[in-house]
């Protein structure tokens, strides 16, 4: 019997990150009793990535970040193959070719290959004093490096760069952040939150350079030098490059799978099916269908990896799954927990509930992004519990005036009921 018709062949997951591990769990929970193979190119068992820029850097002891403990692997019968790289996908024969020459047949295959850190040509990986953060090994090298340094240059003012900057400041390093854009997180949050976050970082002692015109960036004796048009030369003993991520789609592209021209991800439908029969994709590498907008979108988030893994696992077994809830994302930095529901977009009218914490002070606030008469984006600063009340409101037409959302005297659950209207009472 050829591999393409072998119903006894295993289900195979390529990529042992968040999406891959969660898909393995989901397949067993949904009743798959057959052989299940999980292949990862890292030497480690699957682990959580969000702590890499926070707890893993900050703690002397490595925290427990494992996703599939060995007892679970044994009990669930997951054949985990670490340190193995898949170099070719053959959808016609339903085979995966590994770097060591072995061939792995599959009945259905999930690509959960994630992404790689975007590299600056002037500071390639391996440059002394320069770090990229994507894997556990990256984080452990950076942790050791930070403990031997006095100052740090962070190139990139996105979520990852700011989390690293926050952790490094807490460790006592002098930190400078260079962001080429005019604002921090400019594509993810409204201008008032960008300005607040910049002030918050500066209050914690971070030196910020926004809208930076970078004319030179190179290793020098004793560290890294960055030359800015408006600030001259900046030097630091260590540098972290955090300028985004590139989806790992080479395997899919070479196999002829459809790649989204807009975002570079493996294009999938609402059930995480690719353009090849019985090949699925999930997580950072996948460009998923957004039913709300009728477009495809690639999301790099913990929640999206989990949700697409759940949906893909059901589809691999011929089952239906509940659609994904609204996108949710969080970050911890400079003493604040920031959570977001939905997507920000230019032109949204934001209503502020409470007051943004000043300086280094604690406090809580929420911002509601309104498009016409619909709530499409919500941001919570140290108010994650309140944000949960609005999951059912997102995308719905508001039954109350938008300014009502700004009233801090109304408890969050009651406010959500007012937004939904009398039927929710």
Residue 417 has pLDDT above 80, yes or no: yes
Residues of the chain with pLDDT > 70, as a percent, come to 98
Question: What is residue 60's predicted lDDT score, i.e. its pLDDT?
Answer: 86
The CA–CA distances, whole Å, from 83 to 39, 48, 99, 261, 291 equal 8, 17, 10, 31, 37
Span 237-260, pLDDT tens digits: 999 999 999 999 999 999 999 999
Q: How far apart are CA 90 and CA 255, in angstroms?
A: 6
What's the CATH superfamily of 119-241? FAD/NAD(P)-binding domain (3.50.50.60)
Question: What is residue 8's predicted lDDT score, i.e. its pLDDT?
Answer: 81
From first CA to last CA, the distance across the chain in angstroms is 60
Contact assessment for residue 191 and residue 277, using Cβ atoms and an 8 Å cutoff: no
* Local structure of residue 422 (DSSP, 8 states): G
Closest CA to 208 of 231, 192, 241: 231
Of the two residues 324 and 139, the one the predictor is more confident about is: 139
Question: What is residue 3's predicted lDDT score, i.e. its pLDDT?
Answer: 39
* Local structure of residue 397 (DSSP, 8 states): B
Helices (H) and strands (E) in the chain, counts: 10, 26
Contact assessment for residue 225 and residue 234, using Cβ atoms and an 8 Å cutoff: yes
Residue 113 has pLDDT above 90, yes or no: yes
DSSP 223-264: EEEEEETTTEEEEESEEEE---EEE--HHHHHTT--B-TTT-
Asked whether this chain's domains 3-116+245-316 and 119-241 adopt the same fold, the reply is yes
Binning pLDDT at 50, 70 and 90, where does residue 422 land? confident
Contact assessment for residue 139 and residue 164, using Cβ atoms and an 8 Å cutoff: no
Residue 340 has pLDDT above 70, yes or no: yes
Residue 4 has pLDDT above 90, yes or no: no
Record the pTM: 0.94
Q: How far apart are CA 23 and CA 7, in angstroms?
A: 20
Q: How far apart are CA 101 and CA 424, in angstroms?
A: 59
Q: What is the mean pLDDT of the chain?
A: 94
CATH fold for the domain made of 3-116+245-316: FAD/NAD(P)-binding domain (3.50.50)
As a whole number, mean pLDDT of residues 287-294 equals 83
Contact assessment for residue 362 and residue 382, using Cβ atoms and an 8 Å cutoff: yes
Binning pLDDT at 50, 70 and 90, where does residue 421 land? confident
Largest CA distance in the chain: 69
As a whole number, mean pLDDT of residues 120-129 equals 95
Residue 43 has pLDDT above 90, yes or no: yes
Residue 2 has pLDDT above 70, yes or no: no
CATH fold for the domain made of 335-424: Enolase-like; domain 1 (3.30.390)
Q: Would you kindly state where each structural domain of the chain is located, as residue ranges? A: 3-116+245-316, 119-241, 335-424
Residue 415 has pLDDT above 60, yes or no: yes
Q: How far apart are CA 257 and CA 42, in angstroms?
A: 24
Residue 10 has pLDDT above 60, yes or no: yes
* Local structure of residue 189 (DSSP, 8 states): S
């Amino acid at each position: 019997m050829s591999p393409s018709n072998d119903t006894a062949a295993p289900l195979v997951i390529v990529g042992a990150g968040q999406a891959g591990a969660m898909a393995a769990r989901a397949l067993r929970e949904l009743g798959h009793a057959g052989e299940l193979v999980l292949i990862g190119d890292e030497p480690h068992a699957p682990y959580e990535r969000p702590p890499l820029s926070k707890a893993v850097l900050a703690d002397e002891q490595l925290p427990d970040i494992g996703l599939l403990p060995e007892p679970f692997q044994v009990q669930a019968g997951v054949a985990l193959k670490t340190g193995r790289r898949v170099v070719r996908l053959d959808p016609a024969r339903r085979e995966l070719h590994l770097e060591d020459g072995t061939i792995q047949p599959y009945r259905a295959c999930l690509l959960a290959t994630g992404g790689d850190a975007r590299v600056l040509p002037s500071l390639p990986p391996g440059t002394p004093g320069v770090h990229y953060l994507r894997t556990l090994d990256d984080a452990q090298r950076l942790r050791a490096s930070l403990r031997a340094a006095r100052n740090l240059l962070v190139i990139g003012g996105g979520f990852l760069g700011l989390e690293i900057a926050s952790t490094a400041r807490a460790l006592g390093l002098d930190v400078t952040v260079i962001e080429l854009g005019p604002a921090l997180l400019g594509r993810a949050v409204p201008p008032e939150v960008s300005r607040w976050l910049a002030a918050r970082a500066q209050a914690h002692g971070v030196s910020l350079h926004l809208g930076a015109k970078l004319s030179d960036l190179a290793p020098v004796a004793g560290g890294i030098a960055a030359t800015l048009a408006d600030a001259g030369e900046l030097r630091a003993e260590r540098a972290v490059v955090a300028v985004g991520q590139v989806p790992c789609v080479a395997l899919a592209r070479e196999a002829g799978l459809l790649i989204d021209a807009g975002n570079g991800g493996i294009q999938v439908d609402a059930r995480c099916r690719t353009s090849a029969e019985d090949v699925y994709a999930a997580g950072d590498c996948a460009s998923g269908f957004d039913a709300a907008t009728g477009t495809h979108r690639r999301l790099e988030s913990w929640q999206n990896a989990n949700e697409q893994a759940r949906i893909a696992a059901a589809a691999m077994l011929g089952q239906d799954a509940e659609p994904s809830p609204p996108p949710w994302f969080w970050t911890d930095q400079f003493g604040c927990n920031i959570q977001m529901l939905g997507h920000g977009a230019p032109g949204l009218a934001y209503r502020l509930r409470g007051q943004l914490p000043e300086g280094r002070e604690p406090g809580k606030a929420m911002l509601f992004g309104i498009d016409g008469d619909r709530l499409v984006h919500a941001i919570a600063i140290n108010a994650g519990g309140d944000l949960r009340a609005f999951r059912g409101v997102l995308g719905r037409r508001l039954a109350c005036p938008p300014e009502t959302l700004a009233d801090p005297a109304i408890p969050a659950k009651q406010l959500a009921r007012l937004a939904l209207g009398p039927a929710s009472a």
